[in-house]
Amino acid sequence: MLAMANSLPDEMISEILSLVLNVPDGLFCDISETDKAWLRVATPLLYHTVVIRSRPQANALATVFKQTSDLGRFVKKLRLEGGFGKCMQQVLECTPNITDLYLSADMWSSDNVSGLVLGLPLLNPTRLIVRDLSTSRGNRFMAQLYSVLAANLDEWTNLTIIMLSHFPFLSPYRQTERGEFARAICASKTLQVVSLQLWPTYENEYHVFNNNEYDVLNKMALSISSLKVVEIRHLLATRESFKINDTRVTPQLRSLVRLVECCPSTTEPVTQKKSSAIPLTPNDNTVFLDPMSTALQSVVDLVWKRIVSFSMFAGDGSLADRWPEKTNSDRLNIMLVSSTFKALALPYLYGYPILLDDIAICQFSARLCAEPALGPHVRELKIRRVALGTRKKSAKSQPDLVPILSRTPGLARLVGDGVSMTLSCATLGVLAQTAGQTLLEFSGFEMDLKDPQAWAHLPAIFRALPALESLSWTAASIEGVPGYVKGSSASRALPSLRFLDVRSTPTFRPAGLLLALSDMQLPALRSVALGPELYDSTQFLSVHGPKITRLEIHDDFDTPDGMSVFALCPALAHLTLHWTCAKIKRARTPDPDPEEDIDEEEVAFLEAARRERDRRAPPPEPTPTLEFPGPYLALEKLVVVKRIQGKSLQTDLLEWRRFFDAIVCEDFPALREVQILYGHLTWPTAEHLIGKSMWVKWAERLLEQNVKLTNSEGVTWRPRLKASRGGGVGSGKGEKRRRA
């Protein structure tokens, strides 16, 4: 889509979008009220399917039906994920036309099925879906639900389909009630489809039928005279779980069984899929077309060229990055279609290569050396080297990129994977000399700066990159390298740089680069990402902070020198914080070499030294505090990234509690969203889990300040209805004030 948007002219895009976005002037000026016909048609559609997940929702629906009972007759599908008390009787009394009913037998001790017990006999559904985990021990509410279902199955004359999860009636818990429900199913005179969901067990990757389950299925096939289909819904991993030719399967059951693959969330019974395949052989009505037969060859080539570019993901790296191996294979297959396709696809094949190992790099280098005319086609080069399987590789084992970079004058993007390959300053100089006028992005390579003269060449290299917009710099070297010399005539270098990412390996702090960048004007710089332990970031931010709008930092909202990033960056609208949990970094005593003689006195000395270091170690770093002495008017979004470090979930929650308690929203009046990128943050859907979730409490606390809390999937918490003590529907804090 991005490639298409960049290739279509603005006038054509405007015509396409105007069909959707334009509002007719007559509709804009219309002062009449909403058409009653629309209201009449929309109301049944609104109430056609109703899903109730909490008691406040059930109370609200009962109140609506009590005031306008006619609305209940529009309900056709009703899903209940709990008992929800007496109000369900009012709901079921007003919904006599229900055809599809979903009930959850997994009742909690706080559920109450008194309303269901009185209301279910009033229904006559066509399809009944019962969710019951066979491992659930159950309680008296589950027993009451199964009893009322068993008593009404024979009374529901419209019931033709029943869908069950597992074999709940074979559970070792609540066998009396579950067995009564199973006997009621076998005694039904109207059931035509019985559908069962199979799940893998803990012992096996797929569900294995036992003798009791075969006996139940055989009894159903024999007892239910109206039965037409026994549907076994299974996952891909459970394909072989049900043996249709097993000796325990009776002929009657074998004639009824249908196996259907589905995803875990599928509940719609599908007994037979209709084929919509196009006939392979032409008939008398087949129309043969020869498109573009009268067009000029240049027009034909232009059309096919556009099609080939889309099919080869040319210029759309997000799609090619998902399956790089498949992308390379598909690109080669397109070239094998015909000589015309080969001629049209060749520039795209060499224009956007993805090199996945050293062999591919060497082959690509040899190809460019053999045919120099292919080099100008290269626009984007991605190097992964994932096949080697090791994180660190010696420089001697890495293929030389100079033959490639010296032959690609049109290169716009050079992207590595960030860990598998280092790049010397000399190689970077070759890149700048060859493609400096076209290079837009450089990222994913560790810079090898062992040569003390490397820093002296950086000003000239940066001056040779006037078009560079995105620079990701990771230093891979040792301490003690001379830093950048201030005033090296590079103040006007990198005039187009908009994004900068500076990181360091654990053994090196690239102070020289930030000093060099502090000596440059960088007029286009807007987004910066700084790695941890960059101790000269204060000087860099003091120079370029006023124009930075997006910043990524680590550990705290202050620089290592104690300066607040908000004071250094007054226009910061988007801030990302990588939070390493509060912990003490303790030195580890190295393990002795097994081939050497172990000196017990030396080991004891090392252990004593380690304990002394631990005793003198500084206390854990405090939780980062989002505050500012005065109102900071620029910040609109805060992103907090916290990795799961193997600690207990309770410990993490305590750290998160301190973090949210320390947020001072009043200091940031423009803040509208806090996004948490944390693996354990998922929004609960069940009512009892919502009440226990600390994340929900923090989200609603932020909502009081008009700030949304978002998880890693971009989903924002939306408050649910809350019931007051009197049984009505309210919204939490306001209800408490009214009761007071």
* Tens-place pLDDT, residues 545-602: 999 999 999 888 888 888 899 999 999 999 999 987 544 343 444 444 444 444 555 5
Where the chain has pLDDT below 70, the residues are 1-7, 21, 23, 25-35, 134-138, 166-175, 199-211, 235-245, 262-290, 313-328, 386-396, 451-452, 454-455, 476-489, 505-512, 535, 581-622, 644-648, 722-740
Tell me whether residue 606 is in a domain.
Answer: no
- Are 340 and 389 found together in one domain? no
- Are 406 and 541 found together in one domain? yes
Tell me whether residue 166 is in a domain.
Answer: yes
- Are 433 and 413 found together in one domain? yes
What's the pLDDT tens digit per position in 718-732?
887 766 555 555 544
Rounded Cα–Cα distance for residues 214 and 484 (Å): 78
- Are 142 and 228 found together in one domain? yes
List the CATH number of the domain containing 187: 3.80.10
- Are 326 and 471 found together in one domain? no
Last residue of a domain, one of 572, 603, 626: 572
Tell me whether residue 565 is in a domain.
Answer: yes
Tell me whether residue 521 is in a domain.
Answer: yes
pLDDT at 37: 74
- Are 164 and 120 found together in one domain? yes
- Are 374 and 325 found together in one domain? no
Tell me whether residue 286 is in a domain.
Answer: no
Sign of CA dihedral 406, 411, 417, 423: positive
Number of domains comprising the chain: 4
pLDDT at 69: 85
pTM of the model as a whole: 0.66
Could you tell me where the beta strands, DSSP code E, fall in 53-200?
77-80, 100-104, 127-131, 161-165, 193-197
Rounded Cα–Cα distance for residues 734 and 740 (Å): 10
Nearest to 624 by CA among 581, 583, 575: 581
Last residue of a domain, one of 213, 235, 261: 261
Which token pair is 159?
């019931």
Tell me whether residue 23 is in a domain.
Answer: no
C-alpha distances in Å from residue 280, one per residue of 72, 135, 291, 382: 50, 50, 21, 41
Contacts of 658 (CB under 8 A, 6+ apart): 623
- Are 106 and 240 found together in one domain? yes
- Are 115 and 97 found together in one domain? yes
- Are 196 and 220 found together in one domain? yes
Q: What range does the domain containing 62 cover?
A: 36-261
Last residue of a domain, one of 333, 351, 369: 351
pLDDT at 100: 95
Contacts of 513 (CB under 8 A, 6+ apart): 458, 473, 475, 484, 502
